[in-house]
Structure 1
């Protein structure tokens, strides 16, 4: 009977689609196995990949962008471009728009998520990326700040290591590629569980996704999330929460959340964004 159940689970697991959205918790391996970056490279077309690097979040965009260019060129990408967009007006440039219309992969670097949103949100460049991701023409990846912007509601900053409370998290509007989620990165590395729980208490219609360093939540177009890398992905699911005091307490008072569901996923585990179904790695179908 357990064997039959395992087979049924395996049969229900959709085959991986080609394009995907890779949400990376920061500090991904850039030197040794480069598993996460190689997965992005493969999903963007491997040797046929045309990759656009957008380092707008960084204080040193040329330096950080140049590093990723060398990495993907070393992997054998057909073309790698740096779109050094520092001002909103540059999103109107036809050269940049043509690159975004032609590329097979876009990589958003780390830095400051508010800076990244300030430059890209509600621009023609952003419209092109969003439309092509939605239609399955483009693989998108974001690391650190580039991961934080993936939801509609975005963690812009805050504290760590405290009990959940409203003052622990600063919220802003993200880029909304995966509007159902609120992402936090460098998650267990910087003790951000309380921060993400505080965000979910304020937005109980969203799913919290906490991603460790050198770890990736890879979102397929069919709704499945798969974990890659060395750390864990924490899922905070408020679907069945029966009570929270969030609307009624002061900013620094502790929050309560009753009947909150928590999943800790590691390499190979899967989670369905809409069905809220978990599949352990043993049932994973190889891509």
Structure 2
């Protein structure tokens, strides 16, 4: 199957293959324009931005990108730099690396650079990818941290405001790898007007402009849909009390599976809902 060249917002669960097939990174490179790509790497979530920025620069250089700039934003005033602003206005792809999603939001939220990136991504002018922490920031609400492996409860998840690139989503990453189902369900119980999306490592949820989520990579994307939720005790319980939540709809999607965000249905081959 030929590689699609459509722009997209690519939400990556972390630990994407950087050495062998590089399927997800190759898809980002292709969607950003292949050898005509002009890529902005934003490593601000990392405590070692120079190291992680150079790692991705090397990967995209090897693929043949036309231009690559590392936007080493370590203070909010860096977002006022005219040169950086000019580059995000003209680049074809933006890559948000992993690290700490709270750090990333504290540096980028409500800045001219982030406003430009968000608007261009939402219009389909660029391909925007975020991995790990760069994936967590995609929704209006963001999972900032929490635990794993317990029954769902309010204390299991720390919520704050994300970057609002795909506002209707609640994204969790390293999902099955770190046993985060209960954490995502706890977040959905708190925000039942949002759609929970948990993304495994080396797996990507690809959002084009058609309202369809497409899965690539070696793991799964878990969709937790509270649209038909009939009951939850979430508003009336203590922080560590277990959450009851009834009539959630759950989808586990793997490579090439699709999900219609507007109709809230998974699609099997032939575009039939399942």
What's the TM-score, normalizing by structure 2? Answer: 0.96
Q: Establish whether residue 157 from structure 1 lines up as the match of residue 145 from structure 2.
A: yes
Secondary structure of the equivalent of 1:31? coil
* Aligned length in residues: 268
Moved over 2 A (4+): none
State the partner residue of 1:9: none
2:73 is the alignment partner of 1:79:
no
Equivalent residue number for residue 145 of structure 1: 133
The within-5 A match list for 1:200-215 is: 200-215=188-203
Question: C-alpha deviations, 1:88-121, integer Å up to 9, x for none?
Answer: 0000000100110110000000000000000000
Choose the corresponding residue for 1:114, options 102, 105, 121. Answer: 102
Matches within 5 A, 1:210-225: 210-225=198-213
Whether 1:232 and 2:223 are equivalent positions in the alignment is no
Aligned residue among 76, 82, 89 for 2:77: 89
Per-residue CA distance 1:170-194 (angstroms, 9 max, x = gap):
0010000000000000000000000
Counterpart for residue 127 of structure 1: 115
Give the whole-Å Cα distance in 2 for the aligned partners of 1:260 and 1:130.
Answer: 30
Question: Does 2:257 match 1:269?
Answer: yes
Matched residue, 2:171: 183
C-alpha separation in 2, matches of 1:236 and 1:42 = 30
Q: Are the structure 2 counterparts of residues 283 and 41 from structure 1 closer, same or farther at C-alpha, using a change threshold of 3 Å?
A: farther
- Segments of structure 2 that go 5 or more residues without pairing to the other structure are none
Q: Which runs of 5+ in 1 are unaligned?
A: 1-15
SS state at 1:240 partner = coil
Is residue 279 of structure 1 aligned with residue 250 of structure 2? Answer: no
- Note the alpha carbon deviations across 1:27-73, whole angstroms, 9 max, x for none: 00000000000000010001100000000000000000000000001
2:264 and 2:18 map into 1 onto residues whose CA distance is 32
Equivalent residues of 2:5, 2:33 under 8 A apart: no
1:54 aligns with: 42
**1:254 aligned residue:** 242
SS in 2 for 1:22: strand
SS in 1 for 2:129: strand
Task: Compute the displacement of 1:17 (Å).
Answer: 7.2
The residue that corresponds to 1:10 in the other structure is: none
2:30 maps to what in 1?
42
Which residue of 2 is the match for residue 100 of structure 1? Answer: 88
Residue 13 of structure 2: which of 2, 16, 25 is its match? 25
RMSD, matched Cα: 1.0
Structure 2 CA distance for aligned equivalents of residues 283 and 96 of structure 1: 44
In structure 1, distance between residues paired with 2:197 and 2:111: 26
